[in-house]
Amino acid sequence: MSTPDPTVALGRSPDELTLLGYQQLAKLTDRSIPSRRINFDFPLLGLFGEVGSLLAEVKKKQRDTDSYVGYEPAVLEELGDTLWYLANLATRADLTLLELAAYSESPVTQAIEVTDRPFQALQPVFAARGPRPPDAFEAELLRLAGRVGTLVAEVSGRTAPDRSLIAPLAPVFHSLIAVANSAGVRLGGAAHENLQKTFGRWPVTRNYTPLFDEDFPPNEQLPRYIELAISEELIDGKLCAVQRYKGANLGDPLTDNKKEEDDYRFHDCFHLAYAAVLGWSPNLRRLFRAKRKSVPSVDEAEDGARAILIEEGIATWIFNHASRLNFFESLNTIDYGLLKAVRNFIDGYEVDRCPLWMWEEAILKGYAVFRQLRQHRRGRVIADLTQRTITFEEMPQ
């Protein structure tokens, strides 16, 4: 069977997602397979960790009751992540989710011939539950945890493929279905959301989202080519970063706004990176007087003060994280937790249409320029929104 197109699969309803279709797509985002020896370690540890995360969500809900508002989406995400690891474990064992679903207590010695079917067929009787985890959910979740523990003991030390692992894998899958039922979650919905997340983070092909202002008049568009001269200058006894565009100052001189200097004064390169890669920067839109006033709702919601504060908040929050990692030097990836937090920041704004891989690229490219500014204390930063690039050039004293 040919691998389904991720774009087509994600464009369909979660109810149309099939077991084999999901498993094939999940395999595309498994970046952990070693080049010489395929083992079970990574997905096994991941499965163990995700079940632990599910247990943690229940504990937080019991502890914080109604004040914990992220319970339902967290359970949906954790179930999807658990399914991803289980699917890739099955793939490495040369098994399918169809076989796991059809397996009974009787040992299976050969492949089970079953027609591919949608996830919804696994949950023929589905009743949505209330916001509190019912006792049944807790009981099924503990049963799932026990079966995953048994799986870890069974799989430890084995190498792939190993079809005999259907015996410990199938009960885990059956428990996962039971957990979804008792939680009032459609497993197909969790699988669909999981694919959206994983392909947003690790796409097969990288296609940038269109620039958000491409359909607006030219005077309401961000400049497509921005060459900003940034230099460190002493002003009123304070070291400041000064930005000049076409020979004129752009914005106010910037200090670190902190007792201990950390060079945050150069942070405008982050806004340039967001503009270049994401096509988004309410801050630069204000500085370049390119607010989209022809559509008042866009001007207010996307280009207004709140959007500007959100962008500044993202830049500051990431900076605090990056400062503990040598400003991402020698790193070519960013941990998912940080990217997920960024996504939460921009929820409901136009830029949330940008997949996480674009955010990762914008952040890493922005910090590559920031490190050069720190080293040279001045330079030209060039943002090309058409090419989606941001580069640094040394500038003579």
**For 178-221, what is each residue's pLDDT tens digit?**
999 888 889 999 999 999 999 999 888 899 999 999 999 999 99
Give the Cα separation of 240 and 253 in Å (integer): 6
pLDDT attached to residue 71: 67
Q: Are 315 and 289 in contact (CB under 8 A)?
A: no
At residue 31 the predicted structure's pLDDT band, cuts being 50, 70 and 90, is confident
| DSSP structure string for 46-66 | HHHHHHHHHHHHHHHHHHHGG
pLDDT attached to residue 193: 92
At residue 62 the predicted structure's pLDDT band, cuts being 50, 70 and 90, is low
pLDDT attached to residue 132: 45
pLDDT attached to residue 7: 67
Q: Are 378 and 230 in contact (CB under 8 A)?
A: yes
Q: Is 350 a residue whose pLDDT tops 60?
A: yes
- pTM for the model stands at 0.85
* Pairing between β-strand 248-249 and β-strand 389-393 as defined by DSSP bridges: unpaired
Give the Cα separation of 163 and 92 in Å (integer): 9
Q: Kindly report the average pLDDT of the chain as a whole number.
A: 88
Q: Is 329 a residue whose pLDDT tops 50?
A: yes
- Of 182-186, 287-291, 349-353, where does mean pLDDT reach its minimum? 182-186
For the segment 341-359, the average pLDDT, to the nearest whole number, is 95
Q: Cis ω on the peptide bond leading into residue 396 (within 30° of 0)? A: no
Domains contained in the chain, CATH given:
6-201 (1.10.4010), 218-393 (no CATH)
Q: Is 111 a residue whose pLDDT tops 80?
A: no
Cα 309 to chain center, whole Å? Answer: 22
Q: Which helix (H) or strand (E) holds 245?
A: strand 238-245
pLDDT attached to residue 12: 72
Q: Is 106 a residue whose pLDDT tops 60?
A: no
* Pairing between β-strand 225-235 and β-strand 389-393 as defined by DSSP bridges: unpaired
